[in-house]
């Protein structure tokens, strides 16, 4: 009930939307900033997937009906070029899926279950998510060409408040991951340039998917570290508190 579909909407300033049910877009949304909040105990999804959407800053939040806690509404947003996650944040107890034709940055935090972020740009568009309050359980981050047929040279940086699993990462540029918890992989990491990993001195890093393909790997902090690569790997200067297995 109380779902809202958005047709074409273009403003020079901020667009703010609050709905009791799911929010979708059948039209294109453009403006300076966008904030969308759903308030539903069961979790109401925010699905804004028109490829022409274009905002500078985006905040998307799934909340319960009392608006005093987060809810399990899946969040999907597509932007035609670059955008920043605004101080309004992107927060849910469900999945977050973000796609852009340019770089993605953040001023606010991201919280959710699985975080999937993709940039689509032939020159490579960076993913720079460095808010220390980010908190997701699984990440999938990729810099791809515009046709989404090959990895591109977009540098990827992700910071999380505790551990996470990697279901997939792809770029021909650099990768930097930092957290205060364990880092594991359930999918492949394919990184054309240097990979830098920091999990904290007490936390393990276990990247053992057989199709991983690194160039150079640098461990800034980690306890027991396991790295598996489908071919050659170069180890840069690293600090490991426990064991290192390659």
Tens-binned pLDDT, residue by residue, of the chain (246 aa): 589 999 999 988 999 999 999 999 999 999 999 999 999 999 999 999 999 999 999 999 999 999 999 999 999 999 999 999 999 999 999 999 999 999 999 999 999 999 999 999 999 999 999 999 999 999 999 999 999 999 999 999 999 999 999 999 999 999 999 999 999 999 999 999 999 999 999 999 999 999 999 999 999 999 999 999 999 999 999 999 999 999
Token output for 121: 């740009």
Q: Count CA atoms within 13 Å of residue 30 on its CB side.
A: 9
pLDDT of residue 1: 56
pLDDT of residue 2: 85
156: left (phi over 0), alpha (psi -120 to 50) or beta: beta
Q: Check the CA dihedral 143-38-43-52 and report its sign.
A: negative
pLDDT of residue 34: 98
User: From the CB of residue 178, how many other CB atoms can be counted at a distance below 10 Å?
Assistant: 18
| 7 bridge partner residues | none
pLDDT of residue 223: 98
pLDDT of residue 230: 97
pLDDT of residue 14: 96
The Cα-based distances of 107 to 57, 87, 140 in angstroms read 9, 5, 20
| 66 bridge partner residues | none
d(CA 27, CA 135): 31
Query: Residues for the chain: how many in total?
Result: 246
């Amino acid at each position: 009930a109380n779902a809202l579909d958005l047709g074409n909407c273009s403003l020079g300033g901020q667009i703010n939307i609050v709905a009791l049910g799911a929010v979708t877009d059948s039209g294109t949304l453009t403006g300076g900033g966008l904030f969308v909040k759903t308030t539903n105990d069961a979790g109401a999804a925010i699905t804004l997937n028109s490829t022409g959407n274009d905002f500078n800053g985006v905040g998307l939040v799934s909340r319960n009906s009392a608006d005093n806690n987060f809810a399990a509404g899946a969040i999907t947003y597509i932007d035609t070029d670059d955008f920043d996650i605004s101080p309004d944040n992107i927060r849910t107890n469900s999945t977050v899926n973000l796609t852009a034709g340019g770089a993605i940055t953040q001023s606010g935090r991201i919280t959710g279950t699985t975080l999937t972020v993709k940039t689509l740009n032939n020159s490579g568009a960076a993913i720079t998510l460095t808010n220390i309050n980010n908190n997701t359980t699984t990440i999938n981050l990729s810099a791809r060409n515009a046709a989404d047929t090959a990895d591109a040279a977009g540098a990827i940086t992700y910071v999380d408040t505790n551990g996470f699993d990697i279901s997939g990462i792809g770029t021909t540029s650099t990768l930097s991951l930092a957290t205060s918890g364990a880092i594991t992989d359930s999918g492949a990491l394919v990184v054309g340039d240097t990979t830098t990993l920091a999990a904290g001195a007490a936390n393990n890093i276990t990247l053992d998917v057989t199709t991983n393909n690194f160039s150079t790997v640098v461990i800034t902090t980690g306890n027991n570290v396991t790295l598996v690569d489908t071919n050659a790997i170069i180890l840069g200067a690293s600090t490991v508190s426990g064991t290192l297995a390659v």
